[in-house]
């Protein structure tokens, strides 16, 4: 069973639809018991960092997420909330990854929305993905390149596209909206 964490951020339905299309058994839940018993966990998100963190703390999901032992995949805001700090709302986040989230420079077109390729790929999550493959991004904030970075995207500046630490995986882009390439990435996660 795959648990998709339900919290004060959108995008859970599209993740569930993508997993259903791949034949995965999944549930959207904010139940601590269901999340901790799941084989794998997905932490998606579209929204604002400070309100999302307040919700996680209010429902005690912050400690649950940090202490999970099974594979967890954070997507978009989910990735950002797994970092130590976000400039969005000056938010202290979960601190799974010792990395900061910053706002993309406003002198360029933001949000970064559209298809981009990945560089310097070195992740189990991205097995079979090449620098000629494109994935779909929608974001105003980015994670700095850090010791956990496993691929980079270059839009305005180079930033972390994916990260990995022990059982924690994260993607700034949306695999559930990235067509066949995204399906490959989700299958890689399901096969961990």
Q: Does residue 11 have a pLDDT over 80?
A: no
State the catalytic residue, choosing from 48, 88, 164, 176.
176
Considering 76, 83, 93, 153, which one is annotated as catalytic? 76
Q: pLDDT tens digits for 139-186?
A: 999 999 999 999 999 998 999 999 999 999 999 999 999 999 999 999
131-168 per-residue burial string, b: 16 or more CB within 10 A, e: under 16 = eebbbbbebebbbebeebbbbbbebeeebbbbbbbeeb
Asked whether the beta carbons of 120 and 158 are under 8 A apart, the reply is no
Active site residue 76: yes
- Per the prediction, the chain carries an average pLDDT of 95
Catalytic status, residue 108: no
- To the query of whether residue 93 is one of the catalytic residues in this protein, the response is no
Question: Which residue in 83, 93, 112, 174 is the catalytic one?
Answer: 174
Say if CB 123 and CB 138 are below 8 A apart: no
pLDDT for 105-120, tens place per residue? 877 677 888 999 999 9
Domains and CATH numbers, the chain: 2-190 (3.40.50.880)
Packed helices 179-190 and 12-21: angle between N→C axes, nearest 10 degrees: 80
What is the per-residue pLDDT for 3? 98
Structure confidence by residue, pLDDT tens digits, 86-102: 999 999 999 999 999 99
């Amino acid at each position: 069973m795959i648990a998709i964490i339900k919290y004060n951020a959108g995008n859970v339905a599209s993740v569930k639809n993508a997993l259903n299309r791949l034949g995965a058994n999944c549930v959207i839940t904010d139940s601590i018991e269901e999340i901790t018993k799941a084989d794998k966990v997905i932490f998606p998100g579209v929204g604002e960092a400070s309100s999302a963190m307040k919700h996680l703390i209010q429902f005690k999901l912050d400690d649950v997420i940090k202490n999970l032992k099974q594979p967890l995949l954070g997507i978009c805001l989910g990735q950002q909330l797994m970092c130590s700090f976000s400039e969005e709302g000056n938010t202290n986040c979960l601190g799974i990854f010792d990395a900061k989230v910053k706002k993309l420079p406003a002198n360029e077109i933001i949000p970064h929305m559209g298809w981009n390729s990945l560089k310097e790929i070195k992740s189990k999550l991205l097995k079979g993905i090449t620098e000629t493959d494109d994935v779909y991004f929608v974001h105003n904030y980015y994670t700095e390149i850090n010791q956990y970075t496993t691929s980079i995207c270059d839009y305005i500046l180079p930033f972390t596209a994916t990260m990995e630490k022990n059982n924690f995986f994260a993607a700034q882009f949306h695999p559930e909206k990235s067509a066949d390439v995204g399906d490959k990435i989700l299958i890689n996660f399901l096969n961990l």
